[in-house]
């Protein structure tokens, strides 16, 4: 270790030198590793953070000793070396040491033109970034007299000659870089990238490898995988007669392709060396690296190496390939892929390299991107789909009536709503990109148009693109990347399944959802919201007949017609899930959700039911409630109108018998929603047991089933001990439980959620990330009380939180058996669960 000044020291990079990332930064550490691998790295010296700090605080430093390391006629580069490459740092300065004497030497060896160009660029860079002079004075283009003009300008501005002593130049460069790191803008920038407030900078001084001269000379970068796909292909470029990022004379591509001459052909041995270096890095640094290199008269120097930048799909492919080649362990491969990032692989995604014309922003409610023509009604969406024209459904908010329109659309945008509003939940289930709570737009459905910020008007048929991954609405089309459910993805998730210790089921309501759940290899269905089965045209009418029935007989008659449809639904779910558990929730929403909301719809309904319009209007009004989410829904409906649950139970059991006859042994799980008292469970259980007994008798078939309770009200959590006596499992419906714990409407919270989060009233949107302090406390209390009463009870979460990594960590720590989430969130959940178990 050499002394620079009182507190300043530096270390020459050798295989045995003591270099630490925390002190010298990642770049110094990485270069030392390259040296250990015997890669041809030019002589390099590293300044630790402590020295850089001393320099920034104005302590004079003696750079003579350091310059001595590089011998007479030194020419060096200075690069930043923070602890983490993501934190950036001041720009690299090349050719420090360039002075009249070096100019003369280089004029002899490389010609005056080259010497002039190098000197000029150094003077310009130094004037701007080190001496901080007016850029206008130093804009000379290379050419006769330009160098002299720059030197004169320097002298005029500073009243002194351009510094000639390399040690002085070096001292000034180090000082300016050290100070740049301390600047407020730089600090804010790196903190935005996750750097701690006290992040420090190391600096790396390296002998310049010139990249110019006789024979093959130049500079370039090379990597051995594609950054977007992760495929093992050589990427990069080489610039003949150039230094790093500097302007180039001629570009050569690395490998031969339609673009013309290649480095591979120009110098096969240089190319072979680079491939060898890349392979060594991959094995020894256990990572795909991008090498920055210079060639001087056919001699390769590796001047830097960074981890290859990568998309999520490339990250998966690279991690799996490294593990399959035994370079890293499977556990490492799992940990190298950020769970949230793999959402990108499941959906179309806007090419990150493509330009974006952002029109408005809202809450990113369901990931993926899609382009389509704007429509404002479900009917228009269906008409558009019938014409094979992709459309984007834009609504103030959605209701069950819009479901068919959502099915027909390629993406959904709503002006209102939050993470668990109707549009958000349905879109996530369908895997549709969705943005909600986009208050920057104003919809005028009657005029079939919406107004964006700055008064821009968009009419039906105009094309927009939705990026549900980051909540941006873009004008027009955008370049897309296709989903990548490839072998690498599957392999990684299988490895995840081997280590995770919490089950991941899917919320699946329809056969399509069940197929998606199977494609993403969920451990079964944790929540089938049966009411979603009633929105198809034919069923909706029967459903409405049931609602409007005048007598129990009429109601039974309508339910008789629904029975075979439900039986077929359940049978297909059982068959699709191939013996995996299927948990079916009995009917939950308030009945009025199935009734039309406008006059036109009521007229159609009156016609379909052959009843006077006035009666339809009156009955609909009679069903409306002041607070439907807290009204006659869930088990309350099940107790008041028990025929609905009877029909559903029968459909489930008959489907179980049918599945058994076809060779699939099923133990259906039946779940009661919105329970708040144990007596509710007792009453429903008695009826369901009796339906089971009837079906067993009728079919002469034995089967069992499990009855469970959804804990969605605070009271159910508090009374979980008592409730558990009647339940084989409890599933926390954290959407309703959050709504009721906060007294916060899940459909209206979007309006003020961002204000609340910005002002840190809430740490996060509690509908998005489980509120572990409040709602979480109810979960823990409920689970403990339930287990106290019934130690073998199965406990899970089936609200939207089930797909959120932080919430999964909480459920796992609490010893829950599984979480259940939208099918498209299953892969992220599987990987996140594995991360927590490692």
Q: Confirm or reject binding of residue 676 to ligand PEP (CB under 6 A).
A: no
Report what 426 binds from Mg ion, ligand PEP, none; CB cut-off 5-8 Å by kind: none
Q: CB nearer to ligand PEP: give 317 or 801.
A: 801
Q: CB nearer to Mg ion: give 49 or 635.
A: 635
Going residue by residue from 556 to 575, which x/- string records binding to ligand PEP, judged by CB under 6 A?
A: --------------------
Nearest to 345 by CA among 489, 232, 472, 479: 489
Q: Confirm or reject binding of residue 278 to Mg ion (CB under 5 A).
A: no
C-alpha span between 610 and 592 (Å, rounded): 19
Options 166, 733, 776, 803; binder of ligand PEP; rule CB under 6 A: 733
The reply to whether 698 sits in an annotated binding site is no
Q: CB nearer to ligand PEP: give 527 or 828.
A: 527
Piece in contact with ligand PEP (CB under 6 A), picked from 4-12, 93-101, 380-388, 732-740: 732-740
Q: CB nearer to Mg ion: give 733 or 803.
A: 733
Q: CB nearer to ligand PEP: give 79 or 801.
A: 801
Q: Confirm or reject binding of residue 712 to ligand PEP (CB under 6 A).
A: yes
* Burial annotation 182-194 (CB, 10 A radius, 16+ → b, else e): eeeebeeebeeee
**In whole angstroms, how close is the CB of 712 to Mg ion at the nearest point?**
5
Q: CB nearer to Mg ion: give 162 or 816.
A: 816
Options 121, 529, 555, 719; binder of ligand PEP; rule CB under 6 A: 529
> Are the C-beta atoms of 36 and 16 separated by less than 8 Å?
no
Piece in contact with ligand PEP (CB under 6 A), picked from 117-125, 640-648, 684-692, 733-741: 733-741
**In whole angstroms, how close is the CB of 423 to ligand PEP at the nearest point?**
13
> Are the C-beta atoms of 627 and 579 separated by less than 8 Å?
no
DSSP-derived 3-state class of residue 514: helix
Report what 291 binds from Mg ion, ligand PEP, none; CB cut-off 5-8 Å by kind: none
DSSP-derived 3-state class of residue 555: helix
**In whole angstroms, how close is the CB of 709 to Mg ion at the nearest point?**
12
DSSP-derived 3-state class of residue 636: helix
**In whole angstroms, how close is the CB of 717 to ligand PEP at the nearest point?**
12
Q: CB nearer to Mg ion: give 467 or 712.
A: 712
Residues 6+ apart with CB under 8 A from 350: 356, 369, 465, 467, 469, 474, 478, 479, 480, 481
Q: Confirm or reject binding of residue 747 to ligand PEP (CB under 6 A).
A: no
Q: Kindly state the DSSP code that residue 203 receives in the 8-state scheme.
A: E
DSSP element (H, E) containing 711: strand 706-711
Going residue by residue from 578 to 617, which x/- string records binding to ligand PEP, judged by CB under 6 A?
A: ----------x-----------------------------
Q: CB nearer to ligand PEP: give 590 or 799.
A: 799
Q: How far is CA 201 from CA 188, 231, 244, 282, 320, in A?
A: 15, 34, 22, 26, 33
The reply to whether 73 sits in an annotated binding site is no
**In whole angstroms, how close is the CB of 7 to ligand PEP at the nearest point?**
59
Options 116, 207, 226, 736; binder of ligand PEP; rule CB under 6 A: 736
From the list 301, 347, 407, 422, the catalytic residue is 422
**In whole angstroms, how close is the CB of 782 to ligand PEP at the nearest point?**
13
The reply to whether 585 sits in an annotated binding site is yes
Q: Confirm or reject binding of residue 798 to ligand PEP (CB under 6 A).
A: yes
Q: CB nearer to ligand PEP: give 295 or 819.
A: 819
Q: Kindly state the DSSP code that residue 6 receives in the 8-state scheme.
A: S
Residues 6+ apart with CB under 8 A from 741: 714, 771, 774, 775, 778
DSSP element (H, E) containing 689: helix 678-699
Report what 648 binds from Mg ion, ligand PEP, none; CB cut-off 5-8 Å by kind: none
Report what 492 binds from Mg ion, ligand PEP, none; CB cut-off 5-8 Å by kind: none
> Are the C-beta atoms of 254 and 263 separated by less than 8 Å?
yes
Report what 798 binds from Mg ion, ligand PEP, none; CB cut-off 5-8 Å by kind: ligand PEP
Q: Confirm or reject binding of residue 422 to ligand PEP (CB under 6 A).
A: no
Options 431, 799, 805, 827; binder of ligand PEP; rule CB under 6 A: 799
- Report long-range pairs for 177-180 (Cβ below 8 Å, ≥24 apart): 177/52, 177/78, 177/80, 177/89, 177/90, 177/93, 177/201, 177/203, 178/52, 178/53, 178/55, 178/56, 178/203, 179/56, 180/90
Question: For residues 690-719, which are near Mg ion according to CB under 5 A?
Answer: 712
Q: CB nearer to Mg ion: give 736 or 800.
A: 736
Phi, psi (degrees; rounded to nearest 5) at 517: -60, -40
Q: Confirm or reject binding of residue 800 to Mg ion (CB under 5 A).
A: no
**In whole angstroms, how close is the CB of 285 to ligand PEP at the nearest point?**
46
798 is catalytic: yes
C-alpha span between 576 and 581 (Å, rounded): 11
The beta-strand segments (E) located in 321-453 are 349-350, 358-361, 363-366, 369-375, 391-395, 411-414, 434-436, 442-444, 449-451
Alpha-helical runs (H) found in 387-441: 403-408, 422-430
Half-sphere exposure of 749 (CA within 13 A, CB side): 26
> Are the C-beta atoms of 78 and 204 separated by less than 8 Å?
yes
Residue 161, exposed/middle/buried by CB under 10 A (0-12, 13-18, 19+)? exposed
User: Which residue matches tokens 């130093």?
Assistant: 138
Report what 56 binds from ligand PEP, Mg ion, none; CB cut-off 5-8 Å by kind: none
Q: Confirm or reject binding of residue 429 to ligand PEP (CB under 6 A).
A: no
> Are the C-beta atoms of 510 and 337 separated by less than 8 Å?
no
Q: CB nearer to ligand PEP: give 311 or 420.
A: 420
Applying CB under 5 A, the site for Mg ion has a residue count of 3
Number of H helices and E strands in the chain, helices first, is: 32, 32
Q: Confirm or reject binding of residue 637 to ligand PEP (CB under 6 A).
A: no
Alpha-helical runs (H) found in 409-510: 422-430, 487-499
The reply to whether 470 sits in an annotated binding site is no
Please give the structure tokens belonging to residue 99.
């002075």
CB atoms within 10 A of CB 143: 12
The beta-strand segments (E) located in 594-693 are 669-672
**In whole angstroms, how close is the CB of 533 to Mg ion at the nearest point?**
16
Piece in contact with ligand PEP (CB under 6 A), picked from 430-438, 551-559, 730-738, 753-761: 730-738
Half-sphere exposure of 146 (CA within 13 A, CB side): 20
* Burial annotation 498-529 (CB, 10 A radius, 16+ → b, else e): eebebbbbbbbbbbebbebbbebbbbbbbbbb
422 is catalytic: yes
Q: Confirm or reject binding of residue 734 to ligand PEP (CB under 6 A).
A: yes
CB atoms within 10 A of CB 33: 19
The reply to whether 733 sits in an annotated binding site is yes
Piece in contact with Mg ion (CB under 5 A), picked from 413-421, 490-498, 730-738, 775-783: 730-738
Q: Please, what sign has the CA dihedral across residues 554, 556, 560, 566?
A: positive
Options 166, 437, 733, 750; binder of Mg ion; rule CB under 5 A: 733
Q: Confirm or reject binding of residue 429 to Mg ion (CB under 5 A).
A: no
From the list 30, 391, 438, 798, the catalytic residue is 798
Options 226, 267, 646, 736; binder of Mg ion; rule CB under 5 A: 736
**In whole angstroms, how close is the CB of 640 to ligand PEP at the nearest point?**
19
Which residues contribute to the annotated binding site?
A: 529, 585, 712, 733-736
Catalytic positions are 422, 798
Binding site for ligand PEP (CB under 6 A): 527, 529, 588, 712, 733-736, 798-799
Chain residues binding Mg ion by CB under 5 A are 712, 733, 736
Q: Which residues are annotated as a binding site for Mg(2+)?
A: 712, 736
Q: Which residues are annotated as a binding site for substrate?
A: 529, 585, 712, 733-736
């Amino acid at each position: 270790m050499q002394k620079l000044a009182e507190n300043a020291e530096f270390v020459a990079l050798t295989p045995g030198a003591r270099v630490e990332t925390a002190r010298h930064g990642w770049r110094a550490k990485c270069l030392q590793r390259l040296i250990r691998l015997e890669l041809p790295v030019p002589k390099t010296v590293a300044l630790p953070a402590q020295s850089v700090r001393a320099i920034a605080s104005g302590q004079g430093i003696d750079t003579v000793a350091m310059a001595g390391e590089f011998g007479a006629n030194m020419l060096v580069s200075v690069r930043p070396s923070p602890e983490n490459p993501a934190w950036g740092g001041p720009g690299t300065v090349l050719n420090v040491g360039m002075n009249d004497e070096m100019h003369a030497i280089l004029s002899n060896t490389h010609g005056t033109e080259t010497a002039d160009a190098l000197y000029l660029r150094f003077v310009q860079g130094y004037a701007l970034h080190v001496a901080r002079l007016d850029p206008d004075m130093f804009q000379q283009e290379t050419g006769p007299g330009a160098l002299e003009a720059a030197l004169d300008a320097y002298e005029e501005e500073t009243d002194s000659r351009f510094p000639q002593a390399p040690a002085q130049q070096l001292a000034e460069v180090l000082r300016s870089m050290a100070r740049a790191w301390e600047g407020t803008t730089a600090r804010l920038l790196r903190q935005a990238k996750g750097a701690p407030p006290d992040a420090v900078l190391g600096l790396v001084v390296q002998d310049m490898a010139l990249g110019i001269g006789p024979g093959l000379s130049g500079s370039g970068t090379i990597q051995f995988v594609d950054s977007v796909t992760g495929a093992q292909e050589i990427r990069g470029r080489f610039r003949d007669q150039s230094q790093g990022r500097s302007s180039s004379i001629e570009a050569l591509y690395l490998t031969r392709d339609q673009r013309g001459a290649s480095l591979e052909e120009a110098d096969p041995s240089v190319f072979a060396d680079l491939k060898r270096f890349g392979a060594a890095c991959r094995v020894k640094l256990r990572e795909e690296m991008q090498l920055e290199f210079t060639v001087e008269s056919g001699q390769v120097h590796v001047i830097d190496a960074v981890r290859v930048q990568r998309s999520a799909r490339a990250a998966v492919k690279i991690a799996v390939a490294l593990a399959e080649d035994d370079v890293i362990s499977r556990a490492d491969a799992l940990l190298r892929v950020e769970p949230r990032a793999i959402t990108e692989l499941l959906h179309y995604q806007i090419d990150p390299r493509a330009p974006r014309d952002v029109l408005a922003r809202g809450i990113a409610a369901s990931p993926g991107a899609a382009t389509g023509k704007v429509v404002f009604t479900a009917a228009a969406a269906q008409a558009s789909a019938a014409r094979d024209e992709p459309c984007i459904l834009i609504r103030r908010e959605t209701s069950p009536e819009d479901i068919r329109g959502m099915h027909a659309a390629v993406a959904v945008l709503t002006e209102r709503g939050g993470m668990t509003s109707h549009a958000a939940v349905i879109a996530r289930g369908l895997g549709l990109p969705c943005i909600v709570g986009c208050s920057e737009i104003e919809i005028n459905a009657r005029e079939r148009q919406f107004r964006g910020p700055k008064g821009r008007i968009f009419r039906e048929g105009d094309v927009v693109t939705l990026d549900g991954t980051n909540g941006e609405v873009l004008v027009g089309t955008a370049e897309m990347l296709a989903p990548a459910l490839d072998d690498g993805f599957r392999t990684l998730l299988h490895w995840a399944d081997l280590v995770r210790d919490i089950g991941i089921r899917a919320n699946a309501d329809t056969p399509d959802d069940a197929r998606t759940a199977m494609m993403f290899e969920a451990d079964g269905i944790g929540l089938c919201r049966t009411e979603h089965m009633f929105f198809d045209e034919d069923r909706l009418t029967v459903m409405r007949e049931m609602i409007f029935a005048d007598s129990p007989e009429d109601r039974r008659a309508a339910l008789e017609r629904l029975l075979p449809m439900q039986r077929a639904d359940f049978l297909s779910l059982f068959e699709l899930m191939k013996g995996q558990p299927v948990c079916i929730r009995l009917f939950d929403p308030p009945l009025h959700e199935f009734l039309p909301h406008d006059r036109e719809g009521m007229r159609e309904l009156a016609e379909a039911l052959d009843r006077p319009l006035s009666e339809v209007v009156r009955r609909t009004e009679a069903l409306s409630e002041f607070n439907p989410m807290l009204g006659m829904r869930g088990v309350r409906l099940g107790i008041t109108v028990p025929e609905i649950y009877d029909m559903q139970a029968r459909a489930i059991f008959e489907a179980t018998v049918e599945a058994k006859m076809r060779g699939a042994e099923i133990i259906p799980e039946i779940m009661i929603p919105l329970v708040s008292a144990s007596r509710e469970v007792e009453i429903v259980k008695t009826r369901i047991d009796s339906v089971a007994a009837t079906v067993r008798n009728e079919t002469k078939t034995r089967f069992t089933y499990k009855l469970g309770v959804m804990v969605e009200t605070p009271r159910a959590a508090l009374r979980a001990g008592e409730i558990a006596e009647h339940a084989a499992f409890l599933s926390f419906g954290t959407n309703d439980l959050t709504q009721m714990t906060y007294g916060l409407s899940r459909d209206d919270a979007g309006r003020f959620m961002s204000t609340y989060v910005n002002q840190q009233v809430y740490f996060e949107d509690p509908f998005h990330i489980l509120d572990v302090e409040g709602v979480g406390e109810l979960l823990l209390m409920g689970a403990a009380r339930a287990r106290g009463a019934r130690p073998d009870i199965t406990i899970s979460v089936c609200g939207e939180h089930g797909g959120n990594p932080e919430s999964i960590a909480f459920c796992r720590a609490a010893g829950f058996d599984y979480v259940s989430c939208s099918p498209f969130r299953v892969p992220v959940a599987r990987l996140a669960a594995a991360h927590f178990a490692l």
